[in-house]
Structure 1
Amino acid sequence: MTTPISAITLEEHVAFPSLDIENDPFYGNIWKIFPERLHHAKDISTTRLANMDAGNISYQILSHLPDTIALTSPSHCRAANDEMAAAIAQHPTRFGGFAALPMSDPAAAATELHHAITDLHFHGALIDNHLPDGTHYDAEHFWPVFAAAEALDVPIYLHPSPPTNDYLQSRFSGNYPLTVELGLATGAWGWHENVGLHVLKLYAAGVFERFPRLKIIIGHMGELLPIMLHRIVRLRFFEEMEKKRGKGILDVWNENVWVTTSGIFSVETLDMVLRVTKKERIMFSVDYPFEDNVTGRRFLEELRERGELSGEEVQGIAEGNVRALLGLKG
């Protein structure tokens, strides 16, 4: 009998009362269509643990769902992170935590990151990809958060955020139903291009030169960047930046960025990502409760059965690489 693949996942969401995600305007529409996913997001014991067991997930890094309150209210962030810590304490061998940070107030966000790491023993932070108005974090105003992450030696996970109404209308509305419009703006395209763009803006702004040991995680097989990297490298303005700085976008990709598989269970897509990404920088994730851990288990089994990666390399993607990144004990 083939030994089950034990895995660790790190884009797995929860909903605590302090952030009132149940009444969030964007996610409220999702809960109407998929009410069971709200139930799963709020559950941090019975249902969640059972699904982890069914998917051979030994350890899960919890993160708060993207939320306007989390971005704009330091007090709500603190309360939600404390709620998460209390939930983790009930199952410390199964759960770890990524903090929410109030990115609209970078000084408070840096303070909250210190609290989450030093007091709550979280493993890093998962932050919304942009503020409610669509602002990314390339301006130096936001850099205290990156300075804190580098000093604490913990990663920042950039997670897709709900689109603004203006962005939704200008980019994704068209001659098709609203459900298609929302799909294009989120998981079918918009979310991923926006995170990929954000990483490029951080590079262009000089974030990775100021903070050369900064660790950024992005999900969904690299948020469309893997297929674009070599074209980006050849564009004149990126060539000129690399000459001036001595650090190009491929250096950033190889030294500062880690990629998870969250929500994309395609070995063909992973093949493409592996063409441009070091094996030790790829980590398995599921995107629970929007995806199921059993689906993730089958993806890992298919990856192993194909035989293009060694058993050790598959296990590295499943759990070894995240252990190395976060310093988790075996």
Structure 2
Amino acid sequence: MDFNLKQYLMEKQELVNRYLKLILEQFNQKHKLIMAMDHSLMAGGKRLRPILSMAAAQACGKDFLIALPACCAIEMIHTYSLIHDDLPAMDNDDLRRGLSTCHKKFSEATAILAGDALLTHAFNIISQPEQVFKIYPDTQTRIKLISRISWAAGIKGMVEGQMLDMQSYQSEQRDNLTHLKKIHALKTGKMITVSVEAGAISVDADTETIEKLIIYAGKIGLAFQVADDILNIEGDPKIMGKAAGSDALNDKMTFPAIIGLAESKKYAKKLIDDAIETISQFDEKAVPLRAIANYIINRDH
């Protein structure tokens, strides 16, 4: 069947942006904290994680709109992680999505608090979705979503991956491919995986379906990071909205640094092929998931 991925991504981005804006509009728009949150949250990201949630719900043959509370919460958590990643104590970046990073636009303290606020309010959105959303999962499903998303974002998920990434600069395992895979399976992969999982949970998918989607998501999550490492070498800063070449400049542990650029491209392609094979039993409702998988390694930002 013909499928227009560009149109699909644009429609879903607009939908997510509309609801993220509604969430922020519950507060005083002149408050500096809200301005800082808005600056980073509405800076025009790809919205890949919430789109994956909706695509997963759709692949289960259900109305993807019921996954919107989880979608928005996940994007808020993702944005908090970017704000904190950009801080001087971590990656010390000046640009994010083509704009000044939050701490550059406002202040370091404001950026820290904006990230804290996005993380905290994300779980309020799932627990009390009636503030903004017309349809949403039942109470037990929302509790499960909070449990899974908080686990993926926390001590044994994204935050652990960030810690391992920071420690990698002095690590004795700098050339250890297995260790690098672990870092990114946690830092990037966990939130991508839980995005897909949350979409399926939101529509009450069965265990077998969720398990297949989790395998798919784990592979595309790792491929996403490999593609990011490649873009840091070959990407156009004007398109990416951030500097290129920073990984090599900062002597960062990356896939190209360990296995080379050509092998990194082959590895990313194999991960995507394996991910698509994992959901081969899904019908045409999973076409968006297959298209997004290919997009991950062919994107330019």
TM-score, with normalisation over the residues of structure 2?
0.31
* Larger proportion of strand: 1
Greater length-normalized contact order (CA 8 Å, ≥ 6 residues apart) = 2
